[in-house]
Amino acid sequence: MGRLLALTLAYLAYLLAAAIGSERQQHSVQHGPCSYTFILPEVEHCQPLKDFQVTNTLQRDSPPEAEPGTGQSKPVKAQKERPSWQETKLESLESAMENNTQWLQKLENFIQENVRSGMEEMKRAAVHTQTAAMLEMGTNLLSQSAEQTRKLTDVETQVLNQTSRLEIQLLEYSLFTNRLEKHILLQTQEISRLSDKNSFLEQRLLALEARYGKELQGLESEKQQLQELLERQSRLVSQLQGELGSTTLNSTSLQKQQAVLTDTVQQLLAMVNHCNEISNVPKEEPLSFRDCAEIRQSGVTESGIYSIRLPNSTQTVKVFCDMKTRGGGWTVLQHRTNGSVDFHRGWRDYKLGFGELSGEHWLGNDIIHKLTSSQEYSLHVQLKDREGNEAFSQYEHFYIDGEENNYSLHAEHFSGTAGRTSSLTHTGTQFSTKDRDNDRCTCKCSQLASGGWWFEACGPSNLNGIYYPASSSVVRYNGIKWYYWKGPNLMATTTTMMVRPANF
Ligand SMILES: *[C@@H]1O[C@H](CO)[C@@H](O)[C@H](O)[C@H]1NC(C)=O
Ligand SMILES: *[C@@H]1O[C@H](CO)[C@@H](O)[C@H](O)[C@H]1NC(C)=O
Ligand SMILES: *[C@@H]1O[C@H](CO)[C@@H](O)[C@H](O)[C@H]1NC(C)=O
Ligand SMILES: *[C@@H]1O[C@H](CO)[C@@H](O)[C@H](O)[C@H]1NC(C)=O
Ligand SMILES: *[C@@H]1O[C@H](CO)[C@@H](O)[C@H](O)[C@H]1NC(C)=O
Ligand SMILES: *[C@@H]1O[C@H](CO)[C@@H](O)[C@H](O)[C@H]1NC(C)=O
Ligand SMILES: [Ca+2]
């Protein structure tokens, strides 16, 4: 406000100065922070009044006769020349001055009031209009800002949403990338491992290639050698072929020999066929035959090995058939001729049979039992000493029990030339071997006499004893024995036990 007042005062002073003239003298008064400049009115070409009531008499500081325009130096001269007039004048001047200052103060107050009220009015008006405008603007701005803030919040939420979404995506991506990195790490490790392996394999491959190359070279050289050999051999073959051609063309004698040979071969083939026919016929047919008697009855007259089917079973066994002795048809159970087979055997061997059917053998207690118990059989014991003397013992009824009865002997209706009395023990005697003592002796007859037989205690016969090839003066008790024919010793004897149905 003080500044505004100073400005107003300065403006008024300026207006006054403009009205009065530029040549007027200026006076500046300092009042507090303000400085006031006054341009005082001057009396121009006029006589000074007595009372000096005119304000501009204040400016009349020099006598009227004094020349105007030299203002400041002249009052000093007047004071020195006329002190009383000067004193009065000074007093009036002072009062005028006071009056002026008062007036000035009033003026100032007035101006100040005016200015203040004007300013306030101005202010009020301005403020009113401005506040209205401002209010409108403010409301506008407020509405706008509200909208803006709304938009901003929307945008913010969107941005937040987007950023959160982006952050989530980023997180996912980072996780994904982590996983990928791990995966890639693993894969790179694997790749490195594989590359290591690969390099190792390559090295091995190279080594193998080198080796194979060497081997290939060796093989190629071998191949070349072989080819050379082949060529040489083919040459030789061609030579030989030529020679052969010449010789075949030439050899008429050889052709004749060949013809002879083919003839003989054909003859031999025919003979072989004949033989096959001979052997085949009896071999095929006996399959349905129960024993050698049926084979003999079918017309076979040749002694030999044939197959029979045991009664009440599908079991077929091979047997030696004697087709000569006393009408033939004999199924051989036992045969000794040269001691080639050991007969000092255990129970199981005698049960199942042993030896060679064409030579020395024991047919087997099970077979003998099955055969002789199926129908009534006769036993024929054929003996021949080393001088060739033959004899026989025959039993019209013969069979043996099964293993459950230790193959007990049943032989009756004795006849024959090998002794007037039967050398076989009586009915019911069990079979004994070196490992199964079923005899009636406190001893073990099988071990004393050797072989397996129907020992009693130990009995007058044992055709399965030890085969002694020649006679001697020493008495043997463990040799082949048919007591009632030739005593305890039978040396180099041929024995055959064989059966045939009693009604043959
Ligand atoms: C001062 O001025 C007033 C009028 O404004 C006047 O009445 C009065 O006589 C003057 N006083 C002097 C001493 O001149
Ligand atoms: C982000 O905006 C979508 C629609 O644009 C909305 O389905 C989702 O719920 C919002 N998510 C958040 C966290 O605001
Ligand atoms: C065939 O044999 C006769 C003698 O029998 C002989 O003179 C002739 O040179 C032979 N031919 C060949 C091609 O060897
Ligand atoms: C015993 O006789 C059989 C049949 O006759 C014969 O195969 C075998 O070679 C003979 N063995 C000895 C040692 O004489
Ligand atoms: C054979 O079988 C018949 C009936 O199937 C029977 O009666 C007979 O005793 C049997 N013979 C033998 C030796 O088993
Ligand atoms: C057969 O012989 C054995 C001993 O070898 C004996 O234990 C058994 O009782 C005999 N069987 C019969 C029926 O006597
Ligand atoms: Ca005994």
DSSP collapsed to 3 states, 199-223 = HHHHHHHHHHHHHHHHHHHHHHHHH
DSSP states of 23-58: TS-EEEEEETTEEEEEE-----S-PPPSS--SGGGG
Looking at the domain assignment, is residue 267 inside a domain? no
Q: What is the predicted pLDDT for the residue at 27?
A: 66
Helix axes 83-250, 2-20, angle to 10 degrees: 120
Ligand 4 pocket: which of 320, 322, 337 to mutate (most atoms <8 Å of CB)? 337
Phi, psi dihedral angles at 37 (to 5 degrees):
-115, 125
Residue 174 lies in a domain: no
Enter the pTM of the model.
0.46
**Is residue 79 in contact with ligand 5, taking CB distance under 6 Å?**
no
Q: What is the Cα–Cα distance from 100 to 58, expressed in whole angstroms?
A: 10
**pLDDT for res 41:** 61
φ, ψ for residue 47 (rounded to 5)?
-80, 135
CA–centroid distance, 111 to ligand 1, in Å, is 21
Beta-carbon neighbours within 5 Å of ion ligand 7: 437, 439, 441
Burial string for 296-323 (b: 16+ CB within 10 Å, else e) reads beeebeebbbbbbbbeeeeeebebbbbb
Q: Are 463 and 334 in contact (CB under 8 A)?
A: yes
Closest by CA position to 332, among listed 126, 207, 500: 500
Cα 436 to averaged position of ligand 6 atoms, centre (Å): 9
Other CB atoms closer than 10 Å to residue 291's CB: what's the count?
Answer: 28
Residue 366 belongs to some domain of the structure: yes
In a domain, 398, yes or no: yes
**Atom 1 in ligand 5: which residue has the minimum CA distance?**
312
With contact defined as beta carbons under 8 Å apart, do 459 and 445 qualify? Answer: yes
What's the pLDDT at 198? 87
Per-residue confidence (pLDDT) for residue 79, from 0 to 100: 47
DSSP letter for each residue of 479-492: B-EEHHHHTT---S
CATH of the domain at 309: 3.90.215.10
At 394 the pLDDT is 94
Q: Along the 504 residues of the chain, how does pLDDT read in single tens digits?
A: 455 454 455 455 454 444 555 455 666 767 777 776 766 565 566 555 555 454 444 444 455 554 444 444 444 444 455 567 777 777 877 787 788 778 778 877 877 787 778 778 877 787 778 778 878 877 887 887 788 788 888 888 888 888 888 888 888 888 988 998 998 999 999 999 998 998 999 899 899 999 989 999 999 999 999 999 999 999 999 998 888 877 777 677 777 778 888 888 888 887 777 766 665 554 444 458 999 999 999 999 999 999 999 888 888 999 999 999 999 999 999 999 999 999 999 999 999 999 999 999 999 999 999 999 999 999 999 999 888 899 999 999 999 999 999 999 999 999 999 988 899 988 899 999 999 999 999 999 999 899 999 999 888 999 999 998 876 677 788 889 999 988 887 777 899 999 999 998
Pocket, ligand 2, Cβ cutoff 6 A: 161, 164
126's enclosing H/E stretch is helix 83-250
| Cα-to-centroid distance, 170 and ligand 2 (Å) | 16
**What are the two backbone dihedrals, phi and then psi, of residue 392, each rounded to the nearest 5 degrees?**
-145, 155
pLDDT value at residue 399:
96
Q: Which residues pair with 379 in a beta bridge?
A: 395, 499
Domain that holds residue 421: 292-501
Q: How far, in Å, from the CA of 455 to the mean position of ligand 7?
A: 9
Q: Which helix (H) or strand (E) holds 265?
A: helix 252-284
Q: Is residue 429 part of a domain?
A: yes
Residue 54 alpha carbon to ligand 1 centre in Å: 10
- Tell whether ligand 6 has an atom less than 6 A from the beta carbon of residue 438: yes
The answer to whether residue 338 sits within a structural domain is yes
Instruction: Verify whether ligand 3 is closer than 6 Å to residue 251 (CB atom).
Output: no
Token code pair at residue 414: 């004795």
Phi, psi of 343, rounded to the nearest 5 degrees: -105, 0
Pairing status of strand 409-416 against strand 390-400: antiparallel
- Least Cα distance to 283 among 315, 327, 316 occurs for 316
DSSP code of residue 49: P
Which of 99, 102, 104 to mutate to test ligand 1, by most ligand atoms within 8 A of the CB atom?
Answer: 99
* Residues pairing with 28 in the sheet: 37
pLDDT on residue 50: 56
DSSP, collapsed to helix, strand or coil, labels residue 459 as coil
In whole angstroms, what is the distance from residue 329 CA to residue 308 CA?
12
* Furthest CA-CA distance within the chain: 233
Residue nearest to atom 10 of ligand 1 (CA): 99
SS3 call for 358: coil
Q: Are strands 354-355 and 361-362 parallel, antiparallel or unpaired?
A: antiparallel
Residue 71's φ and ψ, nearest 5 degrees, are -40, -55
Q: In sequence order, which residues have a C-beta less than 8 Å from that of residue 463 and are 6 or more positions away?
A: 334, 336, 381, 453, 480, 481, 482, 495, 497
CA–CA separation, 46 vs 129, rounded Å? 54
CA of 311 to the centre of ligand 5 (A): 8
Kindly state whether residue 231 falls inside one of the protein's structural domains: no
The token pair that represents 20 in the structure block: 């009065």
CB atoms within 10 A of CB 153: 11
Residue 226 is predicted with a pLDDT of 92
What's the structural domain count of the chain? 1
Strand, helix or coil at 35?
strand
Q: What is the pLDDT of residue 377?
A: 96
Q: What is the pLDDT of residue 438?
A: 93
10 Å CB burial of residue 214 (0-12, 13-18, 19+) is: exposed
Residue of 487, 469, 502 lying closest to 360 (CA atoms): 469
Indicate whether 15 belongs to any domain. Answer: no
